[in-house]
Structure 1
Amino acid sequence: MLSLVAPPSPGRARPPAEGGGAGAVLRAVLAGGPLTRTALGRATALSPAAVSRHTADLAGLGLLRELPPADGPPRAGRPRLPLDIDTRHHLACGVHIGVPWITFALLDLRGRVVAHERLPRRGDADAVLAAIRAHLPGFLARRAAGHSLLGLGVVTGGWVDSERGSVVEHGPLGWRDVPVREVLVGATRLPVHVDGHARALARAELLFGAGSGATELVQLFIGNVVDAAIATGGTVLHGRRSRAGDIGHLPVPGSTEPCPCGRTGCLQATVSEHTLARRAHAQGLIPAPDFDLLLALAGAGDRTALRLFEERLRLAAPTAALLLDMLNPEVLVVSEAGLMVAPSLRPYLYEQIRRHSHAGPEQSVTATGFGVEVLAVAACAPVLDSVYQRPMELRTARAVR
């Protein structure tokens, strides 16, 4: 039987991957904090001397801070001051490039959205990247003044080569071999992290969401692009040239929806937001094939709109079940707009996956908890993941005052 994911166990951090002891300490505080140094030693298996050294370094970077001692009777010896993530100084900046919108976002070190703005996406790749370069300075001046910036994340769907910082192919945008990092690296004095949005969301779920405390996770993203990301051992799989998780062209039995790839019945073409909006418009449900109009109706409880989203989930469920059975993750997170605005759809999704999955009762499926801010979170996630993996390599820039 499938179920909602259970809350993570307090204090359980991902195993040290990159970043050595400092990264392990920072991730342990994120997962279970506030924590005393003694508790950090238990959570990370580091010696007291190593914990003291790493916490001092992280506090010096403005990543950790000491809290006042807990209330209670005085204790003999040195006070055991708890340590927590310091969210006062740093922000991560991110840009998500979608089909209808460009989303600009700022997140604090706990993954909370501090600010976000969006612009209509217009024109080709050159025009979009020029718009980002033009909008970023004003956005940061308005929303990040007085904070230091940890980096710039640039996230989109399709095939994204994160190592080279390029979008290899994005069918709905018509992009091929776009050197995103090369074009945007001069927009700030910061590192530019380019990634696909399913991988970015997988990182965010491991750090701040349903995967906190987990090491095995699958992220399924259903939007205008449909793709997946796989995390094992707490590390998100990239595959050769970052193409792991390309599921958009899996066949959907019975679908005759034409796909730009030349075939019919591909998953992405069948369940994309564009297809759903077109169907709603053809039924006279909305005055134009605008997905936001359909989403608003679903959020208001319109039964016809909800049935369209149910059909979408029904068609996507076999793929979710395949990922669940094949990869056997601790948690499968589904990011789909209907689930965000209409939680009543969730039992329907779980039931549809159950119809196709052979997984046992230990398997967990959940919708993302990031809600309508999911793209803002995705945009900044590569930056925050880099900080939590390699905090001692931190390089920041001061935002415009």
Structure 2
Amino acid sequence: MLSTTTVITAPAAPLVVAPRLGVADTAAAAVLAVIRRRGPVTRDVIVTVTSLSAATVNRQVGTLIDAGLLQERPDLAASGAVGRPRIPVELNHRPFLTLGVHIGARSTSIVATDIRGHTLDAIETPTPQSDPATALPALADTARRYLQRWRRRQVVWIGVAVGGTVDSASGSVTHPRLGWRAAPVGTVIAERLGLRVSVAPHVDAMAAAELVFGLPRSDAPAATTLYVYARETVGFALTIGGKVHTPARGPGSIAGLPVQRDLNGQPATLEDAVSDDAVLRAARAARIAPGATTVAAVTRAARAGDKAAAALLTDRARILGEAVALLADLLNPDSVVVGGQAFTCYPEGMAAMQDAFARRSTVSGGRVRATVFGDRVQEAGAGVVSLSALYADPVSAMRRARAMAADGRGRFDN
């Protein structure tokens, strides 16, 4: 009788990995964060900043050097310094790259980010207005062509930030404005590029960018922060204790929040009142900036002295300020941040927005500020998703990236 042997193989590691949005708190992540924000820096400074023991810091620094993420800089050591604890270390950022993709209702941004979180380059391309079976391969192929510019760097990870409802575990997206239902965004991009991908709701991603990249290095995040976004769509996210709150069913929606009037003076929902489309409809109805097809054209007219165009954009800012105040009073966060081109493309309207916010809010004390990223907030959001796995668990992320590279993936030489 012949015997048979059953061979059990480990399941392949998933190509789609849920992002962890916020300030990571593991020892390796804390050490990496200090070096990213303050480096080159010595080990004793890391001990002071993180409150970790010297032994833990030494162990984590050694592990991160072995992973290729850090390098020692003995040339920067203070004169007379003795021993490795006094040798500065810094991020070894030049060999690596992450790719961020922000899929908007009309345009898609593709951004190259180094492991410091610095944007190296970005392009914008129209979002395909077609079914996912056609649109997603087209977007992936655009990303592949873009990566050929970076053939000397290893691509560690891809992050996708997108509107609609996102299942981050599977990377699937339901986006009514694009007509997508359970579209396999993460799977298609991961398989066509041969790299691991994380997918996140775009407003959550932008809120995470404020936490991870936006704070001065000496500041700690507020206990709770409300982040409100407006451009083609409107949305919000809440950060609690340095992490973006991610409900199991996805983020809530403020698109249907009723407002007393839109830009034409009629009752409407918030998104119908303040979106870019709403601005263009109101401009056409009032014959403002004739022939304008973008909000940027209306903005240029306002800055050129068109009082009606300026009044229209200021009115949009007031409506937004009132809506943000209502949301802030409901959630009562410690701080409020607003982002998206509806807030930032016409900074002259910020005073009107803040005034409306202060007048309408009863509990916030008028505290609201604009994103530190200005009109590049979409790029920052996509970038932080692409770095989320690395920042949360740097050694594991690099191990996964090296495994992909060993299979000939992560480089785009042709």
**TM norm structure 1:** 0.85
8 Å CA contact 2:340, 2:375 repeated in 1? no
Equivalent residue number for residue 4 of structure 1: none
Equivalent residue number for residue 6 of structure 2: none
- Asked if 1:391 corresponds to 2:398, the answer is no
For the structure 1 residues 329 and 58, does the alpha-carbon distance in structure 2 shift closer, same or farther, using more than 3 Å as the test?
A: farther
Deviation, 1:33, is 3.8
Q: Which moved more, 1:23-32 or 1:375-384?
A: 23-32
Q: Which moved more, 1:229-238 or 1:203-212?
A: 203-212
User: What pairs up with 1:159-308 in 2 under 5 angstroms?
Assistant: 159-168=165-174, 170-210=175-215, 213-215=220-222, 216-242=224-250, 244-255=251-262, 265-284=268-287, 285-297=289-301, 303-308=307-312
For the structure 1 residues 179 and 140, does the alpha-carbon distance in structure 2 shift closer, same or farther, using more than 3 Å as the test?
A: same
Mapped partners of 1:365, 1:85: distance in 2: 34
Structure 2 unaligned residues grouped into runs of 5+: 1-21
User: What pairs up with 1:141-160 in 2 under 5 angstroms?
Assistant: 141-142=148-149, 144-160=150-166
Of 330, 347, 352 in structure 2, the residue corresponding to residue 348 of structure 1 is 352
8 Å CA contact 2:230, 2:342 repeated in 1? no
Structure 1 unaligned residues grouped into runs of 5+: 1-13
Q: Secondary structure at the match of 2:181?
A: strand
Of 111, 114, 118 in structure 1, the residue corresponding to residue 120 of structure 2 is 114
Equivalent residue number for residue 9 of structure 1: none
Q: Secondary structure at the match of 1:117?
A: strand
Q: Secondary structure at the match of 1:321?
A: helix
Percent of pairs with identical residues:
32
8 Å CA contact 2:262, 2:272 repeated in 1? no
Equivalent residue number for residue 142 of structure 2: 135
Equivalent residue number for residue 361 of structure 2: 357
Query: One-letter code of the match for 1:399?
Result: R
Query: One-letter code of the match for 1:265?
Result: A
Equivalent residue number for residue 82 of structure 1: 88
Mapped partners of 1:251, 1:104: distance in 2: 34
Mapped partners of 2:358, 2:311: distance in 1: 19
Q: Which moved more, 1:95-104 or 1:352-361?
A: 352-361
Equivalent residue number for residue 43 of structure 1: 49
Deviation, 1:89, is 2.0
Mapped partners of 1:71, 1:333: distance in 2: 40
- Asked if 1:400 corresponds to 2:406, the answer is no
8 Å CA contact 2:44, 2:85 repeated in 1? no
Query: One-letter code of the match for 2:69?
Result: L
8 Å CA contact 1:286, 1:294 repeated in 2? no
Deviation, 1:16, is 4.9
- Asked if 1:96 corresponds to 2:108, the answer is no
Deviation, 1:199, is 0.5
8 Å CA contact 1:295, 1:337 repeated in 2? no
Higher relative contact order (CA 8 A, sep 6+): 1
- Asked if 1:377 corresponds to 2:389, the answer is no
Of 49, 61, 64 in structure 2, the residue corresponding to residue 58 of structure 1 is 64
For the structure 1 residues 286 and 84, does the alpha-carbon distance in structure 2 shift closer, same or farther, using more than 3 Å as the test?
A: farther
**TM norm structure 2:** 0.82
For the structure 1 residues 61 and 236, does the alpha-carbon distance in structure 2 shift closer, same or farther, using more than 3 Å as the test?
A: same
Q: Secondary structure at the match of 1:213?
A: coil
Q: Secondary structure at the match of 1:241?
A: coil
- Asked if 1:319 corresponds to 2:323, the answer is yes
